[in-house]
Amino acid sequence: MARALLIVDVQNDFCRGGALATDRGDDVAAEISAYLLTHHAAYDVVVTTQDWHIDPGTHFSENPDFTNSWPVHCVANSSGAAFHPDLDMDYVDAMFRKGEYEAAYSGFEGLLAPEDSVMTGEHEPGHMPEDTLKVSLDDWLQEQDVTDVDVVGIATDYCVRATALDAADAGYETRVLVDLTSAVADETAETAVAELEDAGVQVIESTSVGR
C-alpha cells in the first residue's frame, strides 16, 4: 500500500490579488508547506496539479456566471498560473497540468508535465512538446502502486471536489484534508463536502493524520 498527497491548484490566480482569489488561498499555501514539513514521511509520493489554460472555450467569459464560466485565469506561462511562492515544492515528485483546451476541474484530467518545467513558475516554462509521453495522473499513481490519496488545495468546492470524486471513482481510498483547502464560497463548500461524503470520501482535519 502506498499513499499519495495530491496538492490541487495552489496557484497565484486563486490567491490574494489573483483573478479568482479565494479567501484562504495564501493561508492554505503556507499551511500545506508546514504540513509537508512535519508529515512528508506519511506519503510515498507528493503530486501537484496546475490549471494551465490556453484556449478553454466557454470556461472563460466576459460575463461569467461563476459556476460554469469564469474570468480569464491561470493562462499558460503567466504569473497567475505559477504556484504560490509560499508553497514548498521540495517534496513534490510530479506535476500534472490540466485544462489547455477545456475546463478540466479534476486533477485526473491532467497530464504529466515535462521534467524540465520550472515548478515554481519563476521562469516561463514552455508548452508540452508534441512528442512528450502523455501520462495521466491515474496511470502515474498506478505506476507508483498508490492505493490511498489525500487531497488538499484550491478550491474546495470545485477542483478539490472534482479531483477527490474522481479519485474515489477510480478506486483509491480517498480523504480530503478540509482545513488545508480554500473554498470559493461557504455554501458551495458545504454542498461539496456532503457530496464527497456521500461518495465515500473521508473529509477530515489534517490534525487527524498521523506523522
**Which sequence positions are flagged as catalytic?**
9, 98, 159
Give me the amino acid identity at 18.
Answer: G
Q: 169: which 3 cell numbers? A: 471513482
| E strands in the chain | 2-8, 45-51, 94-98, 111-112, 146-154, 173-182, 202-204
Is residue 153 a contact partner of residue 106, using CB atoms and an 8 Å limit? no
Q: What's the rounded Cα separation, in Å, for the pair 37 and 206?
A: 13
Q: 146: which 3 cell numbers? A: 498508490
